[in-house]
Structures are given as C-alpha cells and as structure tokens.
A and B are shown apart, each in its own frame.
Chain A
C-alpha cells in the first residue's frame, strides 16, 4: 500500500521560479527521504530528514517535516530546466515495519525555459 502521497501530481513553472511539492504519509516514521527520477532512469536520493528534525537544507533544496501533521514539503529554489523530473517522497516506518522504503506516486515537475 502507498505510504506517501505527493501533491500536486504535476507542476509546471517557469525557469527561475521556486517549486514546492508536498508529501503526506500515514504511519509513524524514522525518517523521510526525497528522491528524483529523470525520465527513463532510476531514482536518485536527494535528501533525508529524520523524525526529530523540522527543516533541512541542501544546496537549492529545502525540506520541512511536520510529524504532527504527517507531512513534508520539498522546495526547490531558483529552478532550472535540468530540475525537470519526477520527485518522490519515501518513508522509513517505525515499529519494526518493512525494511524497504515506501514511496508515493510522485510529483512530475516541468521547468519551462
């Protein structure tokens, strides 16, 4: 079953603008991760935020986590054409759950030049 649900399903913005994607999940987690998938390629890890963290930065990426709302957001600032890809959130569940990450269906981001 799906754990994370990304919103929106698709997002199209102009180059240079900021892109924000949201993720909601259902169970208690150890951490939440964001991945990027370029067309026809495998997923690539972007950033990991632990359940006791509220915000994390990596370059142009900013991730927030609200465990009370079971939600996370990924902000990409100053978007570039190369950021066009699908973005997935994934969770590591607590309580002896599966050892595999549970992924949402992703947000397809298109950066218009």
Chain B
C-alpha cells in the first residue's frame, strides 16, 4: 500500500476563495481523521469518520469548514470562503481500529491564504 495520500502538497489561494483538500486513506482502515497543524495550536483534530460516516466534527473551527467521505477510499476537506487565519498544514490520517493501533499520516497539505 502506498500509505495515506494527500493532494495537493501545497496550495496558495486568495482570501475568499474555495479550497478543497483531498485524502486517500490506507485500504482497509475504518477510521479517517483530519488534523490541522499550526505553530500556535499544535495538532488539532478537526473531524473524523468511521466507515465513511462523520462521527465527531466538534473540532471544525467554523461553518466555513466542511468534510465529506463519499466512499472508503476518498475524503475531502473544504474551506469556503478561505481566510488568512486558515493558513496551516492539514493532515489526513487513517487507522484500522478505534484504539490501540497506530495512525498513519499523509504528507500533509500546506495551505497559504493570502
């Protein structure tokens, strides 16, 4: 397996534009997580899915953020409209079970909103 694949690796966009981040988890993993990493706040859990169903989105900062998982091999995180404070590295991770297993991270998408 190629691991967790995220795209794009880098995204620069203007304030107000829509941004879509993509993630392909490891096949067979039942859980998918979206994290955001900044210097100030560290790694924050935004939302996670179990078997394609969103379970907890309490970490999503605002209604401007939304996430979907239409099937077991694809998830998106959308920001509309984007703002400069959304600039961060966004990671997707997957794990096979609820607990007791390691999480596998993608390489991240570095988002810059100007």
Contact = CB atoms under 8 A, between A and B. Distances in A.
B102 A102 contact: no
Is chain A's interface secondary structure helix, strand, loop, or mixed overall?
A: strand
A25 interface: no
B19 interface: no
Contact of A41 (B48, B98, B100, B107): B107
Interface residues of B, number: 24
Contacts, number: 60
B99 A99 contact: yes
Given A99-B48, A100-B33, A106-B42, A42 B100 contact: no
A98 B93 CA distance: 15
Contacts of A35: 105
Interface in A74-113: 88, 90, 92, 98-106
